[in-house]
Amino acid sequence: MKTYRILTVALVAALLVGCGAAKFAEEKTLLTTVTKAMEALTGAIEKADAPEPVIAALGTFSDKIESFVPAMKKINDEHPEWETNPPDELKGTMEKFKSATEGFQGVLPKLLQMSNDHADNPQLQDAFRKFQSVVGGL
């Protein structure tokens, strides 16, 4: 009987932990997707020495993230405290997201400089405008 109680308590504890993780599964997936997209964009801009790879990277990022803007905005609106105090289940995910954001902010000057240097490139300017529109929606 004692073994039965121990197993029951262990099973209930495992279910509670599992339910807590599942509670934020959608948010974790969303944040991870956006983090990976930011990391890819950052890497592409860091390596770029011509407009073409930047155009491709901006296009890929904008197309991928555009559909996630409403969900990201919802998270930001409903959980502003997550920026400084995320739930335990999302702490690692939020740390990676913040790191990706910082890396992305680090390449913004290069991106802006490229946009200015190639102001006569309509494809770059279009990609940059779409990027600004998508990021502005967050």
> Could you tell me if 90 and 22 are in contact, meaning their C-beta atoms sit under 8 angstroms apart?
no
- DSSP helix/strand/coil, 49: coil
Q: What is the pLDDT of residues 43-78, one digit of tens each?
A: 999 999 999 999 999 999 999 999 999 998 998 899
Domain that residue 57 falls in = 24-136
Residue 6 in any domain: the answer is no
In a domain, 14, yes or no: no
Q: How many domains does the chain have?
A: 1
Residue 19: inside a domain: no
- Domain assignment of residue 39, yes or no: yes
Residue 58 lies in a domain: yes
Gap between the Cα atoms of 72 and 125, Å rounded: 25
Residue 32 confidence (pLDDT) above 80: yes
Rounded CA separation 87/108 (Å) = 30
22 — pLDDT class (breaks 50, 70, 90):
low
pTM of the model: 0.79
105 in a domain, yes or no?
Answer: yes
